[in-house]
Chains A and B, each alone.
Chain A
Amino acid sequence: MNDIERRLRAAMHAAAERWSAEQRSAEQRSGQQLSATLLAGIRRRHRRHVRRLGAASAAAVVAVAVAVPALAHELRTAPVGQVPAGHLPAPATSSPAPSPTARSGTVLRGCASANWGQLPSNWRSGSLAAGPVWFVYDRPHGYVHDGGSYSKPVVHPSGSRQPWVGVMIVEVDFGATAVLKVDPASQSYFRLLTGFDQAGSYSLRDGVTGLTLASCPRGTPAGPNGLVTDYYLGFMLLPGDRALVNLWPSSAATRPIRLIFTCQVRGCGT
């Protein structure tokens, strides 16, 4: 180590010692530890983040105006004994396998990879339920999402138009395993994402068109939003387009619930 390196190291360590002493003095004066101040700030930021997501994810899911008819169609066509998922707060599902596995062509999000964000206490009232799966949104903001802030430069399979990255918070009832798969008709222009912070990083691998959401087993202590597992997901869609996504609410389900994802002009892009 040469002279300038020694001096630099000494300068940094001396500064660190001085800051440390100043910090201790400040803590003694205020009676509050640095970590407590930091945690309070982090809580504030996290609440703000969740509120923003709540608003943004609204339509992340679906334009309900579009989705409701789709669910109604399911209601009309469901076989006797099969209750449409959207009306089941606690669907009957088979017990989860000890080690959940991803359905073919999907990426697994299990209990261990949940996000556990904090939603408003009344989140269910503003959410669209499809079987054990709750698509969280903020009703006052309508059914469109604000894709602007997440509109990272991402490569879209269908061409040069800049896609929007939708935010999608999903809650899945404990004990359930649901599968979301993009319908083949929409696979050329629509992508599901395993997150929404950095769309490019979180996009699904080539050849993978869906997500297996294996919730925590029944009996798991309630999370911040109740007896549900919390996932931050996303999707990538060109403005004005609609995409069809099939949702199998349990491993035993033979018929999917069909959801339509869209990104309306209002609220998108800015």
Chain B
Amino acid sequence: MSTNDRAGFVGGTSPSFEGFVTAASARLLTLALLLTDRRRAEAEDLLQDVLERAYRRWPRIIRNGSPEPYVRQMLVNAAVDRGRRLRRRPEAPLMPDTASPVAADQVGQSADRDLLLRALAALPPRQRAVLVLRYFEDLSEAQTAAVMGCSTGTVKSQASRALARLREVAGSSDDPETGSQEDAVRP
């Protein structure tokens, strides 16, 4: 390790950056995992990339207030960009993989969650990001639009399409005429 490393983060001029990474890394990594198809190596790579860029702009970022929303926005944008680049990769099968240890060991709810997460991962990157921000980060439509850099209407339409796709794959009792979620059609 170099002298710089021992002295603190690169040059030691922004000690609060280390504090921020320490405090927020778990949350940001979870977000990255959801945005990157639950691939840990890819999520860590994405997060490191984003945090390194954030470090370069750190004085500006902290001058504008809390850094986490800004870094989260960078992370979402980076994930969407990366998702577009990787779009040509083969799609993962959406049916439950009975050979997978998770699916084999767990039934019912776990299998349903696994299927939903895989369906989420198969969505186009912007739709996936909208759902993660809305239902994991619990952002409002307006807040999601701000993070995504688009209009509220776009957020609504993207979320609607994405949820429709999830319903197709995982089934749902969303039809108001049908019963509760427990009655939902499950694969």
- Which residues of A pack against B, CB within 8 Å? 2-16, 19-20, 23, 33-35, 37-39, 41-43, 45-47, 49, 112-118, 197, 223-225, 232
Contact = CB atoms under 8 A, between A and B. Distances in A.
20 contacts: A2-B172, A3-B173, A3-B174, A3-B180, A4-B163, A4-B167, A7-B112, A7-B113, A7-B116, A8-B135, A11-B112, A19-B30, A20-B26, A35-B21, A35-B25, A38-B29, A114-B59, A117-B11, A197-B53, A224-B10
Given A34-B25, A35-B18, 20 more contacts: A3-B172, A3-B181, A4-B166, A4-B170, A4-B174, A6-B181, A14-B113, A15-B34, A15-B38, A19-B29, A38-B48, A39-B9, A42-B9, A42-B48, A43-B4, A46-B10, A49-B52, A112-B59, A114-B59, A224-B12
B33 interface: yes
Interface residues on B, range: 35 or more
A15 B117 CA distance: 9
9 smallest A-B Cβ distances: which pairs? Answer: A224-B11, A11-B113, A3-B181, A41-B48, A35-B22, A45-B52, A4-B172, A12-B136, A11-B116
A7 B181 contact: yes
Contacts of B110: 14
Interface centre among A9, A20, A46, A117 (most CB of B within 10 A): A46
B55 interface: yes
Given A10-B113, A224-B4, A3 B21 contact: no
Contacts of B181: 3, 6-7
A45 B172 contact: no
B174 A20 contact: no
Interface of B: 4-5, 9-14, 18, 21-22, 25-26, 29-30, 33-34, 38, 44, 47-49, 51-53, 55-56, 59-60, 63, 110, 112-114, 116-117, 120, 131-132, 135-136, 163, 166-167, 170, 172-174, 180-181, 184
A33 B26 CA distance: 10
Contact of A42 (B51, B63, B135): B51
B52 A46 contact: yes
A5 B184 CA distance: 13
Nearest to B118: A11
A42 B21 contact: yes
Nearest to B180: A3
